[in-house]
Amino acid sequence: MTTSSDAYRRAGVDIESGNLTARMIRSAVESTHGPEVLTRSGLFSGAYALDDHRVLVASADSVGTKVRLAAALGRNSSVGIDLVNHCANDILTTGATPIFFLDYFASSRLVPEVVAEVMEGVAAACREAGCALLGGETAELPGLYAPGEYDLAGFIVGVVERDRMLDGTRVRAGDALVALPSSGPHTNGFSLVNRILTDGGERELTPESVAEHDRELGGSLADALLAPHRSYVRELLPLVHDGRVKGVAHITGGGISDNLPRMLPEGLGAVVDTSTWELPPVFRWIQELGGVSRAEMFHVFNVGVGAIVAVSPEDVEGVVRDLGGAWVIGEVVSGGQ
Amino acid sequence: MTTSSDAYRRAGVDIESGNLTARMIRSAVESTHGPEVLTRSGLFSGAYALDDHRVLVASADSVGTKVRLAAALGRNSSVGIDLVNHCANDILTTGATPIFFLDYFASSRLVPEVVAEVMEGVAAACREAGCALLGGETAELPGLYAPGEYDLAGFIVGVVERDRMLDGTRVRAGDALVALPSSGPHTNGFSLVNRILTDGGERELTPESVAEHDRELGGSLADALLAPHRSYVRELLPLVHDGRVKGVAHITGGGISDNLPRMLPEGLGAVVDTSTWELPPVFRWIQELGGVSRAEMFHVFNVGVGAIVAVSPEDVEGVVRDLGGAWVIGEVVSGGQ
């Protein structure tokens, strides 16, 4: 898959600038790392060895500009769910069980009802993931945010036994790659979505302006776009624990091509057969209305694939059966990265 | 101390609205708490019992609108230090040693050099606190932030032995309260400061417009305002470990009157003698230029007091001697809260 990010740049997001930023901060980050830090930069989450047996795994994330759509549609609890599930899936890639979560909510003017709605979503997803909402910060920051906007970030911590941690070393050439469906765009690509919905910033985002597209989609576009980021914790963790799932990639910003390699050790690559599934209707709608190339769709969105796991050939049949809606999407191969 | 927040509300921050929000989210938060969660809502940090012996302590915070001043003055590394030290002090209130930190940086348009400056500050403070910068998220969110603005939040995790955790139960009536000086406003009250510096939003914040006030202050106002949030970890942790410091309050938003009670158990209160120190020049400048009442100064700012610790009477002399610049500010008394 090639990396064309023209439409995304037009939507105001510069992936190259983000990559430059990442390189510039890497040495600062690594200057703080002692032997307790088990992961290199660039993974889904960071791992810290608390002692010889236990590893704490942590991740920070935001919902991105999906919050703009949620705020405009007055449906704020869904982004609370998004936030927790995105973070929980990130640490799931190491096999960690979530233990606690903290949130950060900020706006130029706090609207208590909006904060409460968001936090109800956060709490519901925490209960579902079995993790405690241990704290957080709610900040009123005049002038910092555009009027009516708010931002939402979250931090999760999980724990995993050191000898059961997923770090790529169990993945072998010949392993099958099994895909789990996403529920929609999850929390990526919304700058592009918002740009389409506002005709490039020319129109207001309102419930009515979004509903105008329902006929094209054949259903509620608001529902399709705001469907909460699916959590794979309850489904996948038992298969990680019984050893059948040997690697987990969470498909987020950068799509399959950027995220799948993060679960592979050096020297292994992946072949993905994109004919094994059809882009769900909401992605076809985005592609058509936004005039986005297929290559860029695959680079910005999960295009229907929320997670990909590596499984030994002999376990594929059982794993696909145990995971509702899963399918074999490809194979781990030698070389590649 | 009374709670008058007129000037702060004029600056765009509504403390009452924030309190209402806090009440609305409390039940959602507590619905996620199992027996592992050791702290009630409203403390400086949350505590999670990992096992019978060890407790993880976590806190999330932001630098608030100090980032607006830092961005305007092009001095971005200082807020990176602020962020880590604010969080580290918050978990210090339980006696926890910081182990790792994650950051969240967001802006409508990423400027790699600005991100890199901030992260250098974050990394330097992490090294100083002995904690690993384990991860983070850098997000470009078009339209969400006002042009040229960015926000910065952080999340820290520390560890403390369960039987050494500070939870207020060791504090007694008759204990001395020992104050540690702040380095300036730290990370609170900057919406009000920014309002003063912009004549209520009428003027641009620039290095020159801030420097115009240097004569009134008798020194660099930019230096005084942006002085990094002081970390008390290296000074106080040894005294927590040797048992002489029995309670720690971090004086942040809400000032002494809101934060000091957070380290006291039910049934105990505090008497603070405000004649034991003078407001440092930067706070007198804020009070005078902003037309802020003394009561409100005490409610919005730390007014020179960055932390207050509880110490048995027999240990006071040694503790004051060991902590550079500390002084006895008051006493723990029966009743009160």
ipTM of the complex: 0.91
| Residue A60 pLDDT greater than 60, yes or no | yes
Tens digits of per-residue pLDDT, A151-180? 999 999 999 999 999 999 999 999 999 999
For chain B, the average pLDDT equals: 92
Query: Amino acid letter at A21?
Result: T
Whether residue A49 contacts residue B103, with contact meaning beta carbons closer than 8 Å, is answered with no
Q: Which of A60, A108, A123 sits opposite B155 (nearest CB)?
A: A60
For residue A10, name the pLDDT band (cuts at 50, 70, 90).
low
For residue B154, name the pLDDT band (cuts at 50, 70, 90).
very high
Give the distance from residue A123's alpha carbon to the nearest chain B alpha carbon, in angstroms.
6
Overall average pLDDT of the B127-143 stretch: 93
Q: Do A58 and B135 touch (CB under 8 A)?
A: yes
Give the distance from residue B114's alpha carbon to the nearest chain A alpha carbon, in angstroms.
9
Q: Do B149 and A144 touch (CB under 8 A)?
A: yes
> Taking the mean position of all CA atoms in its chain, how far away is CA A280?
17
Q: Which of A14, A36, A106 sits opposite B140 (nearest CB)?
A: A14
A143: chain B residues, CB-CB within 8 Å: 12, 65, 68, 146, 149, 191, 194, 201
- Residue B4 confidence (pLDDT): 38
Overall average pLDDT of the B276-295 stretch: 96
Give the distance from residue A317's alpha carbon to the nearest chain B alpha carbon, in angstroms.
36
Distance between start and end Cα atoms, chain A:
13
Euclidean distance between CA atoms B217 and B211, whole angstroms: 10
Q: Do A12 and B145 touch (CB under 8 A)?
A: no
A-B Cβ pairs (cutoff 8 Å, strict): 272
Q: Do A151 and B155 touch (CB under 8 A)?
A: no
- The residue of chain A with its CA nearest to that of B101 is A58
B61: chain A residues, CB-CB within 8 Å: 137
Q: Which of B106, B126, B136 sits opposite A151 (nearest CB)?
A: B106
Going by their DSSP bridges, the two strands A132-140 and A268-272 should be labelled as unpaired
A119: chain B residues, CB-CB within 8 Å: 24-25, 28-29
Give the distance from residue A319's alpha carbon to the nearest chain B alpha carbon, in angstroms.
31
| Residue A4 pLDDT greater than 50, yes or no | no
- Residue A9 confidence (pLDDT): 66
CA distances for B65 relative to B61, B204, B241, B301, angstroms:
12, 15, 35, 14
Using DSSP's 3-state secondary structure scheme, residue B93 falls into coil
Q: Do A12 and B59 touch (CB under 8 A)?
A: no
Euclidean distance between CA atoms B174 and B312, whole angstroms: 8
| Residues contacting residue A66 through CB under 8 Å, at least 6 positions apart | A79, A82, A185, A187, A190, A225, A226
Stretch (H or E) spanning A7? helix A6-10
For residue B41, name the pLDDT band (cuts at 50, 70, 90).
low
A138: chain B residues, CB-CB within 8 Å: 18, 21-22, 25
Using DSSP's 3-state secondary structure scheme, residue A209 falls into helix
Whether residue B138 contacts residue A38, with contact meaning beta carbons closer than 8 Å, is answered with no
pTM, two decimal places: 0.93
Query: Amino acid letter at A149?
Result: E
Whether residue A316 contacts residue A173, with contact meaning beta carbons closer than 8 Å, is answered with no
- Residue B324 confidence (pLDDT): 87
Helices (H) and strands (E) in chain B, counts: 14, 10
Whether residue B79 contacts residue B151, with contact meaning beta carbons closer than 8 Å, is answered with no
For residue A105, name the pLDDT band (cuts at 50, 70, 90).
very high
Residue B271 pairs in a beta bridge with B331
- Residue B1 confidence (pLDDT): 29
- Mean pLDDT is lowest, of A10-24, A77-91, A182-196, for A10-24
Whether residue B39 contacts residue B52, with contact meaning beta carbons closer than 8 Å, is answered with no
Q: Do A133 and B28 touch (CB under 8 A)?
A: yes
Q: Give the rounded percent of residues in chain A with a pLDDT score beyond 90.
A: 82
Q: Alpha helix locations (H) across B130-197?
A: 190-197
CA-closest candidate to residue B316, choices B235, B260, B234, B246: B246
Q: Do B46 and A18 touch (CB under 8 A)?
A: no
Whether residue B60 contacts residue A60, with contact meaning beta carbons closer than 8 Å, is answered with no
Euclidean distance between CA atoms B312 and B245, whole angstroms: 8
Query: DSSP letter at A307?
Result: E
Q: Alpha helix locations (H) across chain B?
A: 6-10, 15-30, 66-73, 77-92, 112-129, 190-197, 207-211, 214-217, 221-226, 233-241, 255-259, 281-290, 294-300, 316-322
Number of Cβ within a 10 Å radius of residue B114:
20
- Residue B9 confidence (pLDDT): 67
CA-closest candidate to residue A61, choices B109, B102, B29, B108: B102
Give the distance from residue B120's alpha carbon to the nearest chain A alpha carbon, in angstroms.
6
Using DSSP's 3-state secondary structure scheme, residue A249 falls into strand
Q: Which of B37, B45, B137 sits opposite A62 (nearest CB)?
A: B137
